[in-house]
Amino acid sequence: MNEIVSVGQVAHTSYSMGLVALSYAIAVLGSFVALSAARRIRDGEGIDRLNLLAAGTALGGIGVWSMHFTGMLALKLGMGSGYSMVETLISLVAAVAATSGALAFVARNPKNIGRVLFAGSMLGLGVAFMHYLGMVGMRFPGYIDWSWSVVVASVVIAMAAASAALWLAFRTRRVALRAVAAAVMGVAVCSMHYTGMAAATFFCTAPDFERFATPRGFGVISSMDLAVLTPMMAIALSLLIAFDQFLQKNLLRNPIKKV
């Protein structure tokens, strides 16, 4: 059981393994949907913006952002915590924008390894930015002390994972292969997240931390509310994008005849 040693002392943390497993499942789900949509990003000589947005939302919004906040919910601090909606929403936009931009850049020439590595590096930095901005948005009675060497390691992992994700995005046509690739990407995304979490040491500065069990205030959402919203949003978006991909596949296979 978690406890705070004393005021201004280290908060002893642990993880709910059920939520850790859920965070991985969400990362895999987002990755699989993204890989499915990424195959249709190229439209002749141009870019299909609808499929680009779908892939970017699936990978950035579900596979990365939703996984991040589910992973944060798995963290047991022994004190109440919440999140500022400003940083939380900006981090979502950043994740989707970075992923969409990287996919669009690589889609123009997926066989060019240089493009993949460059876009992967930029995407990795974007994912790391989203992660640490989300951490900045945490509200709890204390502060975080960072191990900068571990922070750097998490950024390197993010860049490597993003490069692998972009390489896989345009090379997974079969469903079985996409499933395996999504499982690998899920491991990569979670590795970045939990390495980044290992860089953080939480300190409590409140004399009576129990008074902060449910953070309140304008623009702040409690971790309990986020626990419900994040998985629901991830599942709803995944179903919506998957349904869109299903319709596209069937319309392409059986195009509507013009009268």
Residue 17: predicted pLDDT: 93
Closest among 69, 5, 53, 58 to 32, alpha carbons compared: 58
Answer whether 0.95 is exceeded by the pTM: no
Residue 48: predicted pLDDT: 81
CA separation for the pair 232, 241 (Å, rounded): 14
Element (H, E) at 139: strand 138-139
Q: What is the pLDDT of residues 210-243, one digit of tens each?
A: 555 555 666 777 766 666 677 777 777 777 777 7
Query: What's phi and psi for 2, nearest 5 deg?
Result: -75, 150
Contact by Cβ (8 Å): 71, 7:
no
Amino acid letter for position 102: A
Residue 217: predicted pLDDT: 62
User: Mean pLDDT of successive 10-residue segments in the chain (259 residues)?
Assistant: 52 88 92 86 77 88 90 84 87 92 90 92 92 89 91 94 89 84 90 94 74 60 69 76 71 47
Buried-exposed string 29-40: b where 16+ CB fall within 10 A, e elsewhere: bbbbbbbbbbbb
Closest among 32, 88, 79 to 204, alpha carbons compared: 79
The token duo for 118 is 């460059």
Residue 257: predicted pLDDT: 42
Q: What is the pLDDT of residues 117-135, one digit of tens each?
A: 999 999 999 999 999 998 9
Q: Is 203 helix (H, G, I), strand (E, B) or coil?
A: strand
Residue 47: predicted pLDDT: 81
